[in-house]
Structure 1
């Protein structure tokens, strides 16, 4: 079989290359405390899109640093008992998408929340305030500032905050909440379940934002990771601060969060993926200590994986 990365045998034992900051755990405990201190000021507005069997809402809440975050919220009608819910996250630069692809879960009797990442293709705010470059990318946003100013720190916290809001809804059973998403959405699924460990099930697909140094060493700092190459070319052309920068990126490297997950995991990876290399995905998966299983697609890259949406639906049916 053609290969773009390590052999599968090595992938199953690969532990990642990117440095992990020494204060990683205290960093995220401090971040979670900041998130929990925020008054979310939740606002629900009936959406223009409606269907007979569910109520559709535009949901807004305040996240860390005062940004207003948007999510689509679909709530099934005529479900009297607290029921399961799903939180969903989208790919890099995208948005929460159309309403109709959330409705299968509403038909199942589940509530469904789909978040727009701050400053990307949807309605969530990016309040800015970072020192240093903001050119072409959220990974490098805040890289020349204090680690608390890394933009993906705040986006990770938004995912956990949305999950907590979903769990607080009277119609939702807080012990039966799942998370899902692909690419950036896969990374955010892992981050969400790590920072909100009550997530019961999660289905990340080829997760982004993992093992940045491995991406660099594979010469794959292109496509979704292009901003890494742009950053070094403009701001550290001789790589004199390479170790410092990769260590700082370690705060927002999902492989370092993966061992906090407590829910059941079903993850999908395509072994021909040159956008999010398989080894970077395995670096995160191999650190998950919770109950987990991996669905491997040997001939597929960063693209639709046939049948995995159906597998995910069945995986979530017994939340």
Structure 2
């Protein structure tokens, strides 16, 4: 078959190229301590969209650095007892999506919380200087500042915080909270379960934000990774600081958070993916030590993977 990356046997052994900062673990322990100090001030506002079988809410909470984060929350109407919940994450520069998409989960008795990433296409705030959308450029936001100010650090913490909020809801079974999403959503699924290890199951689809240097070396710093090229062109045109830049990106490289996951993993990858190269995804998957399985689509790229959502749903139902 055609290849855009390594042969499959090498992918299954690949351990990544991007440097890991020496203080990586301390960095994330410091980040989690900051998160634990936040008063989330959770607010539920009934949505104008309602159905006979599901209650729908706009859920707001305060994340790190004071940003007010929005999620769509739907739960089964008149549910008896506690039930599972799914936290769901969207692709880069997108949003939480339409309500009707959430009703698949409420129809089987689950709650679902779908987060708007701060500063992207939804209603969550990016408070880093302005209110409103910043849409993209988020990989390099904070790259010229202290590592604690990397924007994706804050977004990862938002994802973990939302899972913790789901676990605290009186109608939710805190032992059956799951995470799902594709591309950036797959990345945040991994970050969520790594930083909130009580997440019981997770189903990332072709996750973004893994092994930045490998993407660069494959000359694929375009599409979702275009901003890496933009940063070098404007701020390091001779690549004199290349090693330092990739090391700083290592703080938000999900391959190095992957071993924190304790929940069961079902991951999906397309071997023809030129947006999030397969090797970058394998770099994260190969470091996961929790129970895991990988669904491989040999002829598919960064696109809808037929059957992936059905497999995800069946995976969550198999308890």
TM-score (norm: length of structure 1): 0.98
- Identify the residue that residue 63 of structure 1 maps to in structure 2: 63
Give the secondary-structure state (helix, strand or coil) at the position aligned to 1:189.
Answer: helix
C-alpha deviation, 1:129, in angstroms? 4.4
Q: Distance in 2 between matches of 1:129 and 1:109?
A: 41
C-alpha deviation, 1:135, in angstroms? 10
- Identify the residue that residue 318 of structure 1 maps to in structure 2: 318
Give the secondary-structure state (helix, strand or coil) at the position aligned to 1:303.
Answer: coil
- Identify the residue that residue 87 of structure 1 maps to in structure 2: 87
- What are the residue-to-residue correspondences of 1:18-167 with 2, within 5 Å? 18-129=18-129, 137-167=137-167
Q: Distance in 2 between matches of 1:136 and 1:174?
A: 33
Give the secondary-structure state (helix, strand or coil) at the position aligned to 2:234.
Answer: helix
Pair 1:237-2:246 in alignment: no
1:11-49, CA deviations, whole angstroms, 9 ceiling, x for partnerless residues?
Answer: 000000000001000100110111111001111000011
C-alpha deviation, 1:78, in angstroms? 2.1
Which has the larger displacement, 302-311 or 76-85?
Answer: 76-85
C-alpha deviation, 1:318, in angstroms? 2.9
C-alpha deviation, 1:79, in angstroms? 1.5
Pair 1:273-2:273 in alignment: yes
- What are the residue-to-residue correspondences of 1:184-195 with 2, within 5 Å? 184-195=184-195
1:190-244, CA deviations, whole angstroms, 9 ceiling, x for partnerless residues?
Answer: 0000000000000000000000000000000000000000000110000000011
Q: Distance in 1 between matches of 2:161 and 2:266?
A: 22
Q: Say how many residue pairs are matched.
A: 316
Q: Distance in 2 between matches of 1:120 and 1:79?
A: 33
What is the alpha-carbon root mean square deviation over aligned residues? 1.1
C-alpha deviation, 1:284, in angstroms? 0.3
1:56-82, CA deviations, whole angstroms, 9 ceiling, x for partnerless residues?
Answer: 000000000000000000010122211
- Identify the residue that residue 264 of structure 2 maps to in structure 1: 264
1:151-185, CA deviations, whole angstroms, 9 ceiling, x for partnerless residues?
Answer: 00000000000000000001001110000000000
Give the secondary-structure state (helix, strand or coil) at the position aligned to 2:79.
Answer: coil
- Identify the residue that residue 291 of structure 2 maps to in structure 1: 291
Detail structure 1 runs of 4+ shifted over 4 Å in the superposition: none
Q: Distance in 2 between matches of 1:162 and 1:19?
A: 29
Q: Distance in 1 between matches of 2:163 and 2:10?
A: 34
Give the secondary-structure state (helix, strand or coil) at the position aligned to 1:144.
Answer: coil
- Identify the residue that residue 16 of structure 1 maps to in structure 2: 16
Q: Distance in 1 between matches of 2:225 and 2:14?
A: 21
- Identify the residue that residue 254 of structure 2 maps to in structure 1: 254
Contact 2:182 2:206 survives alignment (8 Å): yes
Q: Distance in 2 between matches of 1:42 and 1:74?
A: 15
Q: Distance in 1 between matches of 2:172 and 2:19?
A: 39
Give the secondary-structure state (helix, strand or coil) at the position aligned to 1:141.
Answer: coil
Gaps of 5+ in 2: none
Contact 2:265 2:293 survives alignment (8 Å): yes
Contact 2:270 2:300 survives alignment (8 Å): yes
